[in-house]
Structure 1
Amino acid sequence: MPIETGESTGNPWTVLTSTTKYENAWMEVVEHKVLTPKGAPGIYGVVHPRSLATGVVPVHDDGTVTLVGQYRFPLKQYSWEIPEGGGRKGVEPQESAARELREETGLTARRWMPLMKLHLSNCITDEVAHTFVAWGLEQGESAPDETEVLAVRRVPFAEVIDMVLAGAITDAMAVASLLKLRVLAAEEALPEDLAGILRL
């Protein structure tokens, strides 16, 4: 249920002009000349990704979760995450998530459940992410993108949650999705077969 604050939820910004400053195959950067909510002139730059973001928590029958490690260029640091990637807008997010799962880890899943819709870095981008939990996994061959150098490891679910709480996992999609899955498990709100796995 929404929290009532008495505040207006309408748009307080006035956009005067919008200009594309940069674009490539993955994103467009638009600079807006604006009047701020206080009426002062200013600029607001927005990054528009060309894809939807997707992520999936792959849960194995023994209660382990597959994580993917890679070096993140913008952060200049290594990151452990759930399998993630982009999907074309207009394609079902689960279909894109399944493709990324297969490409990054070689896994396919018989069972899927949506976890979250997220807005990422919503002060500078309109990027939208859809995440899922997948189980009933089968192992095949991975086929990472040529720009990806990936490490793949399986970690017990409880240890993955410990990694989140200790700050060893900082990726927003991974943190939010793993913690929601933990809450759903604690509230006994998962399908019975998945709940049984996470109780191991």
Structure 2
Amino acid sequence: MADDKNTLDWKRKSREVQYDNPWITVYHDEVINPNGGDGIYGVVHFKNYAIGILPIDENGYTWLVGQKRYPLDKYTWEIPEGGGLRHIDPLESAKRELREEVGLEAREWKEILRSDISNSATDEQCILYTARDLKKVEIDPDETEVLTLLHLPLAEAIAKVDSGEITDSLSVMALLWMDRYMLRNNE
């Protein structure tokens, strides 16, 4: 086993596109692994950022979005979220998603976290925000979305992570970040 982090490099010998659509590209790579052996690697490249928003109103309530998720074939509760094209400011994508999914605009935005979603087979990255000082606007969901909204105390949303009812990674990260933030700041 190599012990110098500089030698722990993967080397790509070749790359072929196996699948491509407007959201992802799937690559098949022929590689040399960090220990010098030949191998293969499948990589899912995401063309968008995953954008998540934790809106918080003046009473400490937030909104969860319920919807049937096709890849999981199940109904999920999650924070407002969606994709943001990489050439567009992620904050603009967050503003669009909050308007589309919840019918809210915010005057105060804070980026709270950037994260790699699943670095074993994808390069998907997420950017999470809090949104405060909210005002209602007309909701405008994407044509593929049939959404249910749940307006609840932030503590109840965090409890849904603890109970396992919320499993969506962006939602888990944002809600646990907020829980930790509230503990640090005695809120």
For 1:111-163, what per-residue CA distance to the aligned partner results, in whole angstroms no more than 9, with x for missing partners? Answer: 11111001011111101110000111111111111111111111111111110
Structure 2 match to 1:22: 19
2:163 pairs with 1:166 = yes
Per-residue CA distance 1:53-96 (angstroms, 9 max, x = gap): 11000001111110101111111111100000111112211111
The one-letter code of the counterpart of 2:94 is: A
* Alignment TM-score, normalising by the size of structure 1: 0.88
1:150 aligns with 2:147: yes
Structure 1 residues 40 and 161: alpha-carbon distance in aligned structure 2, compared to 1, 3 A threshold: same
Q: Which amino acid aligns with 2:58?
A: D
Structure 1 residues not aligned, in runs of 5+: 1-5, 189-194
Contact 2:7 2:34 (8 Å CA) reproduced: no
- Matched position secondary structure for 2:175: helix
**TM-aligned CA distance change 1:39 to 1:10, over 3 Å:** closer
Q: Does 1:50 align with 2:58?
A: no
Tell me, which stretches of 5 or more residues in structure 2 are unaligned?
none
2:101 corresponding residue in structure 1: 104
- What SS class does the counterpart of residue 174 from structure 1 fall into? helix
The one of 30, 35, 53 equivalent to 1:33 is 30
Question: Secondary structure in 1 aligned to 2:5?
Answer: coil
Distance in 1, Cα, partners of 2:89 & 2:7? 30
Name the TM-score, length of structure 2 as normaliser: 0.94
Aligned residue for 2:125?
128
RMSD (CA atoms): 1.5
Q: Mark the CA change 1:136 to 1:9 in structure 2 (over 3 Å): closer, same or farther.
A: farther
C-alpha deviation, 1:7, in angstroms: 5.5
Partner amino acid, structure 2, of 1:124: A
Instruction: Trace 1:183-198 onto structure 2 (pairs within 5 A).
Output: 183-188=180-185
2:73 matches 1:85: no
Identical aligned residues as a percent: 42
Query: Would you say 1:139 and 2:132 are equivalent positions?
Result: no
Give the ranges of 4+ consecutive aligned residues of structure 1 lying more than 6 Å apart after TM superposition.
none
